[in-house]
Amino acid sequence: MKPFAVYPLMPINIQRASGSWVWDENDRKYLDFYGGHAVISIGHSHPHFVARLKDQLDRVAFYSNSVLNPLRDQLAAKVGELSGYPDYQLFIVNSGAEAVENALKLASFHNGRSKVIAFERGFHGRTSAAVHVTDNPKIAASINRGFERVILPWNDLEAVQDQLAKEDVCALIIEGIQGIGGVHLPAPEFLRELQSLCTKHGTLLVLDEIQSGYGRSGKFFAHQYAGIRPDLITIAKGMGNGFPIGGVMISPKVEASFGLLGTTFGGTHLACAAGLAVLEVIEAERLQENILLRGKELMEGLRQFDEVVEVRGAGGMIGVELPFSAKDFRQRLVQEFGVFTGSSSQPNTLRVLPPLSIMANEVAVFLEAFGNCLSTHQQPVTSHA
């Protein structure tokens, strides 16, 4: 049997990793400004993360969610404390899509409605409800189209207002910063209006912080730049630094009851140890402050290149719009310059998603490689619309 081929693969076989760097089987070193798709938050193979996981493995890796698990309580308390949501509740799952599924399900349980509002270019995962609220018909099968959903233009408050006024919308889901869609920031005023309109019309506001959360934007959550408090917040990616863990943070206005949600693997002892290790490092090494500074250096550096059309982002979530397709440029960055970056659904936009722990000298290495790749890149200049 062979793996089901769902991605075009780069011919690179990674053998080991440390901090912001990974090494292939020929011992070639690569700078990871992709973070394995915004997953690596505290740096690869962080010694505290490795030690905590090894120690937990020696004790107990898994037992059913039907018994006490103090690690789960500790993780919920720590996420609550560091994110500024100590009064919220945490439901732990294994991935981002699962977090979105559970958030939408919970919203529907809460208000009995089933219609969802989402946004153009948005991405929320590949499972049933998550893929239906994603703006990409190519990745949704007919079995996924089981409830009414409306995809609205980004930052279009009037369109949202018209829909919410019908008072039949279960949830409105929006990314803290659109990631796969090419790094687009919602206007803070737009987010604030969404929150008040949702509250007024009985719709739950779901902030998908799977990519933009966990310190990546320089704040714990990107939506905190707007000062709002959503009803449900989905988390994953950076939460486990590569260990599969996700979650839904749930406002106190949504009450738990037995049987509402459930999972076999969500919040195992090992997963909680990974989640705690990540938060302990974020706090001890002040990684949010670090990525805010490094992100500014990165964005300023990128804006110095005349060819760059636009640089968008916050902290370590950066979109670089080029005057040509980013596809070959990204390939050349990896193959010729040993630098990983990410693509996006906007063909000309490259995503830069480094670990939150990157150092100033690594920013300099990145900018030098980017500049050299740019000055030697041969591509017809196309429209960047």
Residue among 41, 69, 108, 211 that touches ligand PLP (CB under 6 A): 211
**Smallest separation, CB 180 to ligand PLP (Å):** 6
Q: How far is the C-alpha of 241 from the C-alpha of 239, rounded, in Å?
A: 6
Q: How does DSSP classify residue 8? A: P
175 or 231: whose CB is closer to ligand PLP?
175
β-pairing, 89-93 vs 14-18, is unpaired
> Shortest gap between Cβ of 247 and ligand PLP (angstroms)?
11
C-beta of 206 vs 333, nearer to ligand PLP? 206
- Starting at the edge strand found earlier in the chain, the sheet holding 29-32 runs 14-18, 21-24, 29-32, 339-340
CB of 138 to ligand PLP, least distance (A): 16
Instruction: Give the one residue of 110, 124, 149, 216 binding ligand PLP; rule: CB under 6 A.
Output: 124
Site residues (CB under 6 A) for ligand PLP, limited to 154-183: 175, 179-180
The Cα–Cα gap between 200 and 226 comes to: 19
Integer Cα distance of 385 and 374 in angstroms: 20
- Determine the 3-state secondary structure of 24 from DSSP: strand
**How many chain residues bind ligand PLP (CB under 6 A)?**
14
Binding mask 180-199 for ligand PLP (x = CB under 6 A): x-------------------
Contact criterion met (CB below 8 Å) for 253 and 223: no
Helix (H) or strand (E) holding 326: helix 326-335
Least spacing, CB of residue 122 vs ligand PLP, in Å:
8
Is residue 123 a contact point for ligand PLP (CB under 6 A)?
Answer: yes
Output the smallest distance, CB 105 to ligand PLP, in A: 15
Residue showing the smallest CB distance to ligand PLP in the complex: 96
Which residue's CB is nearer to ligand PLP, number 183 or number 373? 183
**230 is a contact residue toward ligand PLP (CB under 6 A):** no
Strand ranges of the sheet holding 349-352, from the earlier edge strand across to the other edge? 310-314, 317-321, 349-352
Using the minimum distance from each CB to ligand PLP, give the nearer residue, 169 or 248: 248
Q: Tell me if 32 contacts ligand PLP by CB under 6 A.
A: no
User: Roughly what angle, to the nearest 10 degrees, separates helices 326-335 and 360-375?
Assistant: 120
**Side chain identity at residue 273, one-letter code:** A
Looking at the DSSP bridge assignments, the partners of residue 247 are 92, 235
- Closest Cα partner for 82 from 195, 221, 176? 221
User: Segment contacting ligand PLP (CB under 6 A): 63-71, 121-129, 299-307, 365-373?
Assistant: 121-129
Binding of ligand PLP at residue 266 (CB under 6 A)? no
**Residue type at 153?**
P
CB-CB contact of 318 with 295 (8 Å):
yes
Nearest to 363 by CA among 278, 283, 304: 304
Among 118, 164, 205, 236, binds ligand PLP (CB under 6 A): 236
Residue 124 C-beta: closest distance to ligand PLP, Å = 5
Give dist(CA 231, CA 233) in Å, integer: 7
For ligand PLP, the closer CB: 124 or 184: 124
CB of 47 to ligand PLP, least distance (A): 25
Closest distance between ligand PLP and the C-beta of residue 221, in Å? 12
Which is closer to ligand PLP, CB of 23 or CB of 265? 265
Q: Considering only residues 91-120, where is the footprint of ligand PLP by CB under 6 A? A: 95-97, 100
Question: In the chain, count of helices (H) and strands (E)?
Answer: 11, 14
Q: Which residues bind ligand PLP (CB under 6 A)?
A: 95-97, 100, 123-125, 175, 179-180, 208, 210-211, 236
